[in-house]
């Protein structure tokens, strides 16, 4: 167990009392984002430690609670080993919500949903669901309902998980132009037939693949008209309100953009839900942006790197808007990222992985040279492996106009578009009209 550093700061101290109907159940506290690192104490006892400042941290605090008034303390650290992986992220604090919630003693602890399309027509939905439970059961069942159809699978004594593949049939595919979502309900039923836990998710059926050097969505070549987004607010600093996120996403769509790459760290969960419903394609990055790039070539940092990549994958794997994983900040390489690529590829073969701003593609499914001119891109495409699509993720139309670049996108099948370097509405005004006219 980590010991508090001398420069830890008491950030929050709050009393709370459990509602009567929570007695006998599990109590969980969730921090959506806090950092650079922090310790959690409940009633004077250390519960846990986290140093991934933009990834949710959760703990079951049931055994630390009293039947009367409880005291929760969060001690923020100014420095930690995690800072070395986040040197390009401003010092934060508690930048997203804290939630206290209740669960039954046996509950659905994890849900992996693979909602894809049959390649024979790209209209027939295929659904594979893995349901993990908090502990082994002595019977009961898991029921899945979608499109008015129910599938139930029995649980044997000692089971911890169950896999289901319900029939789906024809669906409306999810895409940036038609973000069709379906309600999926998963129920845990005990041996007496009583429902003990229920989860409702909104899923989209879509298929992302690379074929003949092209990045494709639902069988069609994908054209990325993207932006890089840092989660910052002129009003709240690192805390961005839901209203601001809704306005930003709406502006992006109105201007003709169809994709966003999240810079430096994962976004707020609400932003990903917005992108699911509005049809914004996402390229997500874990909190990996060290100023000392040699750390990523040091095997001692492999576990912290993998931990952040796994957190990203598990948090957002069920969202249809997430079409590409981005391993780290621009221009970073190293053996740790090579291993992270292999791990993520084995866990999620349904999405390509991108290593940005590399002239020599390494541990990536998509080539992404740093801010190239159209002329340089033409030569670059001739020198990289033919199976790799190309997607610049920090593009600034300085060496040639955006019209020149987009003409090249039309001419080169492997060039899948680009993410513009930043969203500053006043600075981008001269080029937005040009970008808008290329919208499909």
| Distance between CA atoms of residues 431 and 256, nearest Å | 12
Q: Report if pTM > 0.85.
A: yes
Gap between the Cα atoms of 289 and 229, Å rounded: 15
Q: Same CATH topology for 8-103 and 108-203? A: no
Among 10-24, 150-164, 311-325, the least confident range: 10-24
Which sequence spans correspond to the domains of the chain?
Answer: 8-103, 108-203, 208-436
Q: Which tokens go with 32?
A: 């959506």
pLDDT-above-70 percentage for the chain:
92
Strand stretches in 207-319, DSSP E: 208-211, 214-217, 220-221, 224-229, 259-262, 281-284
* Nearest residue to 52 (alpha-carbon basis) of 80, 13, 12: 80
Q: What's the pLDDT score for residue 130?
A: 97
Domain 8-103: which CATH number of 3.90.76.10, 2.60.120.260, 3.30.1360.230, 3.40.630.30: 2.60.120.260
Give the end-to-end CA distance of the chain in Å, rounded to a whole number.
54
Predicted confidence (pLDDT) at residue 233 exceeds the cutoff of 50: yes
Q: Please write the tens of the pLDDT for every residue from 249-261.
A: 999 999 999 999 9
Q: Which residue has the higher pLDDT, 359 or 352?
A: 352
Second-level CATH architecture of 208-436: Alpha-Beta Barrel (3.20)
CATH of 108-203, one of 3.40.50.880, 3.30.420.10, 1.20.120.1200, 2.60.40.10: 2.60.40.10
pLDDT tens-digit readout, 289-321? 888 889 999 999 999 999 999 999 999 999 999
Position 423 pLDDT exceeds 60: no
Give yes or no for a contact between 365 and 353, defined as CB atoms under 8 angstroms apart.
yes
Q: What stretches of 264-360 show up as alpha helix (H) in DSSP?
A: 269-278, 302-316, 335-347
How far apart (Å, rounded) are the C-alpha atoms in residues 226 and 282? 9
**Which strands form 281-284's sheet, in the order they lie side by side?**
353-354, 322-326, 281-284, 259-262, 224-229, 417-420
| Buried b / exposed e along 305-316 (16+ C-beta atoms within 10 A) | bbebbbbbbebb
């Amino acid at each position: 167990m980590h010991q508090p550093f001398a420069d830890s700061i008491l950030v929050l101290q709050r009393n709370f009392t459990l509602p009567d109907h929570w007695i006998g159940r599990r109590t969980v506290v969730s921090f959506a984002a806090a950092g650079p690192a922090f310790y959690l104490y409940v009633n004077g006892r250390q519960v846990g430690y986290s140093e991934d400042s933009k990834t949710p941290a959760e703990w079951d605090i049931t055994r630390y609670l009293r039947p009367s008034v409880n005291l929760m303390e969060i001690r923020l650290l100014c420095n930690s080993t995690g800072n070395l992986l986040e040197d390009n992220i401003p010092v934060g604090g508690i930048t997203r919500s804290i939630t206290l919630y209740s669960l039954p003693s046996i509950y659905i602890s994890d849900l992996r949903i693979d909602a894809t399309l049959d390649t024979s027509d790209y209209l027939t939905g295929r659904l594979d669901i893995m349901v993990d439970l908090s502990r082994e059961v002595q019977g009961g069942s898991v029921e899945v309902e979608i499109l008015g159809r129910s599938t139930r699978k029995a649980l044997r004594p000692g089971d911890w998980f169950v896999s289901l593949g319900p029939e789906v049939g024809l669906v409306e595919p999810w895409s940036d132009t038609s973000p069709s979502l379906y309600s999926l309900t998963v129920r845990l039923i005990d041996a007496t037939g009583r429902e003990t836990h229920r989860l409702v998710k909104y899923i989209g059926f879509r298929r992302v693949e690379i074929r003949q050097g092209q990045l494709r969505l639902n069988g069609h070549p994908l054209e990325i008209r993207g932006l890089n987004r840092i989660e910052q607010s002129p009003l709240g600093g690192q805390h961005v309100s839901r209203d601001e996120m809704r306005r930003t996403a709406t502006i992006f769509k109105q201007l003709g953009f169809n994709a966003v790459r999240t810079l430096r760290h994962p976004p707020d969960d609400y932003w990903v839900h917005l992108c699911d419903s509005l049809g914004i394609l996402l390229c997500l990055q874990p909190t990996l942006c060290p100023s000392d790039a040699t750390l990523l070539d040091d095997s001692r940092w492999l576990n912290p790197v993998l931990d952040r990549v796994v957190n990203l994958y598990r948090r957002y794997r069920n969202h249809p808007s997430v079409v590409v994983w981005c391993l780290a900040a621009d221009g970073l390489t190293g053996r740790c990222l090579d291993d992270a690529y292999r791990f993520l590829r084995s866990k999620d073969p349904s999405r390509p992985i991108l290593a940005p701003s590399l002239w020599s593609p390494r541990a990536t499914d998509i080539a992404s040279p740093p801010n190239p001119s159209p002329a340089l891109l033409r030569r670059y495409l001739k020198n990289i492996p033919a199976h790799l699509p190309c997607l610049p993720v920090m593009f600034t139309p300085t060496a040639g106009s955006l019209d020149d670049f987009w003409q090249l996108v039309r001419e080169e099948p492997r060039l899948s578009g680009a993410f513009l370097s930043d969203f500053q509405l006043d600075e981008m005004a001269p080029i937005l009209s040009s970008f808008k006219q290329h919208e499909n």
